[in-house]
Amino acid sequence: MKIFLITILLSASSHLYASENSETSSNSVKTLDSKPSKVGTPLDAKKASAALNELFRAYESGNITTAREFLDSKMIGFQKMLDGMTAESNTCKQIRIHLLDTQIQAGPDIVTIQSKWEKRCLQLPNFSPKLYTGHSTFLMQRSGTGWNLSGISGSNPLQNSGAR
């Protein structure tokens, strides 16, 4: 009985999906009622990736004020991230972050960037070289001013290295 109900629900949902998709042209990026596309463009992915790289470059140079402009103030852990970035810029010099094996998925106003990363710096007080690695998923969201980092899952390359 349960399998029969699941089969009916699945066939009804696939029929509904097929009828919704038959109203739109396969080449069009907007539906008939002028709703925005559910698929992002390569340009969205490129702009979001560039914004994430600008955030990293500002962080590497110790310019936390500029880096803050690329963070969504409604992000969970926003203040903790700013505090960690500030502490890191005071205890680690010549920071370099490299993204490796990056994959990008784009929606109309949201982009997910998955990447392995490696962070190198010279730790104070004796300038000992440090290497940190990890894997993160960055959630970039389009706002009125451009693309902002709205969330990070996995390991965080912007956190204080001493806290690891």
Q: How confident is the model at residue 162 (pLDDT cuts 50, 70, 90)?
A: low
* pLDDT of 35: 59
* pLDDT of 82: 94
* Residue 4 clears pLDDT 50, i.e. is over it: no
Q: How confident is the model at residue 161 (pLDDT cuts 50, 70, 90)?
A: low
Q: Which two tokens stand for residue 19?
A: 């009828």
Q: Which two tokens stand for residue 42?
A: 């390569």
Domain 42-163 part of CATH 3.30.930.10 = no
Show me where the domains of the chain are located: 42-163
- pLDDT (mean) for 37-45: 83
pLDDT in tens, 74-101: 999 999 999 999 999 999 999 999 999 9
* pLDDT of 108: 86
Ranked by mean pLDDT, the top range of 11-20, 35-44, 77-86, 112-121 is 112-121
The 10 Å Cβ neighbour count of residue 20 is 10
- pLDDT (mean) for 56-84: 94
The 10 Å Cβ neighbour count of residue 86 is 15
Q: In whole angstroms, what is the distance from residue 33 CA to residue 37 CA? A: 11
